[in-house]
Structure 1
Amino acid sequence: MIEYIKGTVDEITPTKAILEASGIGYALNISLNTYTAIQNKKEAKLYVYEVIREDAYLLFGFATRIERDLFELLLGVSGIGGQTARMVLSAFTPADLANIVQTEDVRSLKGVKGIGPKAAQRIIVDLKDKVASFIGTSGSTSASGEQSVSASSPLVEEAVQALTVLGFSPAPTQKVVMQIVKEAPDTPVEGIIKKALKML
């Protein structure tokens, strides 16, 4: 089992990071929290969760153990798979998610793609007694240095591409992203994606 991978950040998008360690490039699926934490770094250490199936071998990478622990807890909820768990951790920081579960905020959970009323209730029931220790933890690094965004900016294209990878249709995604950019042109790419996740 791989505990973590420490190496050079070869490539990074809001949904994937490639770390090179000992001459091997590891492709890891990441959340927005992890993207924010490592986006400007040349080297990074990501804690790993492996998903091994007959048709796939996937690696999920997390900037903190806290986020990985929450990911594992989410996977333990009936009906929640790796992509949905990553979507939840892209919409909320670990501390925010812990607070949402503790306060039984079904509405916020339902705002995440793939989470309906029943799934939201299952997450709350299954995790309420398990997330108390996560409240008050950061689990992520806030974005530093906002980047200017315009309608034709690569950041907009990156946001749309990331949301498409997460399962959203390109056309409505483009519309929502453009609306966000119009209202707040200085929003960094991870901010655009976080807002879009709650609007789509």
Structure 2
Amino acid sequence: MAFATSDPATSDRAIAGRAAAPERSAYLSDTVTRTAKILVVGDFGVGKTTFIGSVSEIAPLRTEEPMTQASVGIDDLDHLDAKTTTTVAMDFGRLTLNPRLALYLFGTPGQRRFWNMWAGLAEGAVGVLVLVDSRRLAGSFDVLDQLETHVPAPFAVAVNHFPDSPAHSPDRLREALDLLPGTPVVDCNALDRASSIDALVTLAEHALTSRARKVGS
């Protein structure tokens, strides 16, 4: 198992990961003894590709393609006037969260027509980070339903803030999204590395707690 309760995966809020973005290298440090797969999901246009790109210590793998006229009337571009590309398979990145633990990040496409890929991408994931755009909450309901039905892993919600995002408390968003009381809800700026890493640390802590409860039950 990638996570273990005895491993200080989130000690000191992952000091190693919170540092400024390192010079990107394909090589994993020889101090790393554990790895964990994390799935990053969310509605179309919530910032999954940006999120993975901001935290990844390697050049992220992206499968973006230009949006065409075929998507007009199908993909909801409300508040997304500047969006010209979309992920069609997955995003991939890596983050060494502390000297002993590395996270492998897999981002899913947001559109419903690509959801058949989720099961394969989710295989082996120890946790899921759900990115949400508070300007477009309606699109997150189907994402959460898909997640709870087909991805049996603990998840946390990260609210990605845009310049015109309305301000909502985590409790209000938890209620609006009909989340269980124990589901973490955190603020996030996908453009900011430290903010994005904090969201991943919150997810890691939640995954550890959930696993400990399962072992103890």
TM-score (normalizing by structure 2): 0.26
Which structure has more RCO (C-alpha within 8 Å, separation ≥ 6)?
A: 2
- Please identify which structure carries the higher helix content: 1
